[in-house]
Amino acid sequence: MRVIFFLLLLANVAVAGYAWYASRQANPDAGLVDQQLNADRIRITTARPMVPAVRPKAACLEWGSFGAGDVKPAQTALDALQLGNRVTAHDVQVLVGFWVYVPPLNGKAEVDRKVAELRKLGVQEYYAVDAPGPMHNAISLGIFKTEDAANKYLDSLQQKGVRSARVGSREHRVTQTAFLVRDPDVALTAKLAELRLQFPGSELKAAECTP
C-alpha cells in the first residue's frame, strides 16, 4: 500500500510540476501582440491636395499710344517684323496736354476753305472745333501727351507748307491705340526701340499681358 501511495504521490507531483512548467511558457499569441504598433502612437492623416505649379507671367511690351493718323503706319511697321499673333492692338485712355491747331477762323465758310487747303497740302488728320467757346471754329491737327511731340509734329506740318498752325496746351482724355507685344527678347526689344524713334511722342514700356 505504501508503494502505491508513493507512486500516486510522485505522479501528482509530476503532474503539478508539468502544469507549473507549462504556465511558465510564453503564450504563442502574446508575440503577435508585442509585434503590433502601440495604439496610442497611431495618427491618422489625410493626404494634402497637390498644389498646381504657378506658371510665370508672360512678359509684354506696350508701344503707343497712337492717334487715328498714326495707327496704320505703326501697324505696318510692326507687320514688317512678322510677329504674328504675338501683337495685339487695344484702346487706351490717354490724358493729353498739348495740341497742334489752327487758331479760330471767322465763320464756317473760312473753316471750309482752310480744310480744303490742308487737304491739298497732304494733311489727313484734322478736326473742326464746333463746340461753343473760345476755340470755336479752330481746327485741331493733332493731340499729344508732351509738348516736345507736339512741336515735332508742327515741324512736319510746316515742311508740308502749313504756316498757320501752332502748339498750345489742352488737357483732356482721348481714346487712342496701343500695341501689346508678347514675350519680347533682347533683339526684338531693340527693334521696337528703333521704331519708337520713328514715331515722335510714342512710348515703349513694360505692361501687363492681357489674356
Environment class of 185 (CB within 10 Å of its CB; exposed 0-12, middle 13-18, buried 19+): exposed
φ/ψ of 197, rounded to 5, equals -65, -25
Number of domains in the chain: 1
Distances, alpha carbon 128 to alpha carbons 100, 104, 111, 168, 171, in Å: 12, 9, 7, 16, 17
As a whole number of angstroms, the distance between CA 160 and CA 174 comes to 26
Q: What is the pLDDT of residue 116?
A: 95
pLDDT band, very low/low/confident/very high, at 35 (cuts 50, 70, 90): very low
Beta bridge partner(s), residue 92: 176
pTM of the complete model beyond 0.85: no
Does residue 11 sit within a domain?
A: no
As a whole number of angstroms, the distance between CA 151 and CA 130 comes to 24
Beta bridge partner(s), residue 177: 66, 91
Does residue 9 sit within a domain?
A: no
Does residue 102 sit within a domain?
A: yes
Cell numbers describing residue 42: 497611431
Report for 22-26, 51-55, 149-153: range of highest mean pLDDT:
149-153
Match 510714342 to its residue by C-alpha cell: 202
- 139-144 and 127-128 beta bridge pairing: antiparallel
Tell whether omega for the bond before 23 is within 30 degrees of 0, i.e. cis: no
pLDDT digits (tens, 9 = 90+) for 64-105: 888 877 889 999 999 999 998 899 998 988 777 899 999 999
Distances, alpha carbon 189 to alpha carbons 58, 85, 88, 179, in Å: 15, 17, 16, 13
Does residue 85 sit within a domain?
A: yes
pLDDT digits (tens, 9 = 90+) for 140-182: 998 887 888 899 999 999 999 999 999 998 877 888 899 999 9
For residue 137, the enclosing domain spans 60-207
Does residue 35 sit within a domain?
A: no
Does residue 99 sit within a domain?
A: yes
Does residue 40 sit within a domain?
A: no
Does residue 22 sit within a domain?
A: no
